[in-house]
Chains A and B, each alone.
Chain A
């Protein structure tokens, strides 16, 4: 295959996959701005003929949306910090040491995701009420951390495994302490992967509904606040709400994308 042809194949593949992702997102946007009329049109129009801001505006005008947005962001940020703080050290241990119980720990972490959360909600909520975490952003963030921890731990484990231990050992030889070696050598290399884990944490927290609505009364996250009322709202509201909730995630992923790729230049050359 000639180089030119190969490029054509590569790029057409890339473009196709981009379209595969983007077209459905475009359709949500179309629904979100299409208003009542657009939703039931047949045949469907693929261009935004009926564009209106009406459904969006109704949403933004709902009482308490601002507060819920602040709560949602706060919970997501706390989840991010907590899951990295708990998950990254565990990941490092899994990657660097062959110790008894490693697989047991791995299983424990994974099982968190293997049990439907809603089934655990009752005992959890009872405990949270008793210890005073009920209806607080921290309480929700703790549950979300349990959901995000497997990603944080496993992703960072596979990352640390990929970072040559010789690099670290070399640093020790040059007189760095373990901690220094970790901070100066390993961490910078692992940062992009950790950013990936952070993205997971943020997105998991932002999109989680059940725990967020059961565990709070006044301090609902934006997703819980909007989604619980969405299920029964007319379709164009559902699209508007769905789109509104996707936006922060997309922006967030966009904002941290440079960390994801900061290392291409270093490790691959």
Chain B
């Protein structure tokens, strides 16, 4: 029994040591940087951050994006996962196609969607062909915040739904088919089966997917910059701007700490809300 109690700790030890060396130590150094000004403890950097022109805007934009994109992605991925299960042939091919965006870097994804939405882009070509617009029209400037947001959200959904999909598919395929078959015999409708059997059994995967995706969504940056420049400020973008453009690492660290705090809160919320007890799983 003694051995079995130590076992989980032995299993997580390598990863923990690794993360302490590569993440926690530099993190502490950076956090210190954020709370120091001229060699003394101070909140100057945080004051500078909150007083910045783009602070409120970037906070609002980041949340808006996360709240719109993440639920859509999970819903989309669930739908895709269920569709895959129903396919009797071509599953391999379809899954491969759907996971291709996984391999697309931020930069390339930004480029593609820029090519679509820019003035002389593919979207306008299509709209002009159908006579909706007369010539190049602007979708991505500070004058059209609505369409700019839509473009950013679409690009993010395109780029990052595959991550959720793969996690959910990995979970879906472990749900024994007999459960569903049994329910079907008792006359449960497909919707009921999905709600009463698939969803609860998929909870661990959904939790992982939600946590990872939300944390990554708060880090959103490259695609936003590619599509909108500074017109749609987001938190991590501001952190980078402070570090590289304004060359003030202290304020950059303050932004990064804020992002981390938000992610931490979201993760805790998910862990609470989607509590999974290892003992009750099949």
Contacts and interface: CB of A to CB of B under 8 A. Distances in A.
Interface of A: 10, 13-14, 17-18, 20-22, 24-25, 27-28, 31, 40-44, 46, 85-87, 89-90, 92-99, 101-103, 105-116, 118-120, 122-124, 127, 142-143, 145-146, 149-151, 153-155, 157-159, 161-166, 189, 192-193, 196, 199-200, 203, 206-207, 209, 223, 227, 230-231, 238-239, 242-243, 245-246, 248-250, 252-254, 257-258, 260-261, 263-264, 267-269
Nearest to B253: A119
A142 B86 CA distance: 40
Interface stretch (B50-58, B141-149, B200-208): B200-208
Given A93-B12, A97-B7, A118-B243, A253 B128 contact: no
Contacts of B83: 10, 13-14, 17
A56 B104 CA distance: 18
B136 A162 contact: no
A37 B86 CA distance: 45
B30 A196 contact: no
Contacts of B23: 108, 111-112, 115, 120, 146
Contact of B174 (A86, A96, A189, A246): A189
A116 B11 contact: no
A111 B260 contact: yes
B222 to A, nearest CB: 9
Contact of B256 (A17, A115, A123, A161): A115
A249 B92 contact: no
B249 interface: yes
A245 B104 CA distance: 8
B174 A22 contact: no
A111 B30 CA distance: 14
Nearest to B101: A21
A68 B11 CA distance: 35
Contact of A253 (B14, B103, B171, B205): B103
Given A27-B122, A199-B102, A162 B204 contact: yes
22 contacts: A14-B94, A21-B97, A24-B112, A44-B120, A44-B121, A97-B278, A110-B211, A115-B259, A119-B253, A154-B208, A154-B212, A158-B170, A158-B204, A162-B174, A209-B107, A249-B103, A252-B103, A253-B102, A254-B96, A257-B92, A260-B95, A268-B176
Nearest to A263: B173
A89 B27 contact: no
Contacts of B188: none
Given A111-B263, A261-B91, A253 B100 contact: yes
A114 B218 contact: yes
B219 A242 contact: no
B128 A249 contact: no
Contact of B271 (A103, A118, A258): A103
B98 A21 contact: yes
Contact of A267 (B94, B173, B256): B173
Contacts of A248: 103
Contacts, number: 308
A162 B252 CA distance: 41
A33 B19 CA distance: 42
Contact of B177 (A17, A118, A223, A268): A268
5 A-B pairs closest in CB distance? A249-B103, A162-B174, A114-B263, A242-B108, A93-B11
Interface stretch (B39-47, B60-68, B161-169, B191-199): B161-169
Given A158-B167, A267-B176, A151 B11 contact: no
Contacts of B239: 116, 119
A226 to B, nearest CB: 10
A141 B180 CA distance: 43
Nearest to A194: B170
Contacts of B253: 119
Interface string B1-35: 00001011101101110110011111101100000
A155 B27 contact: no
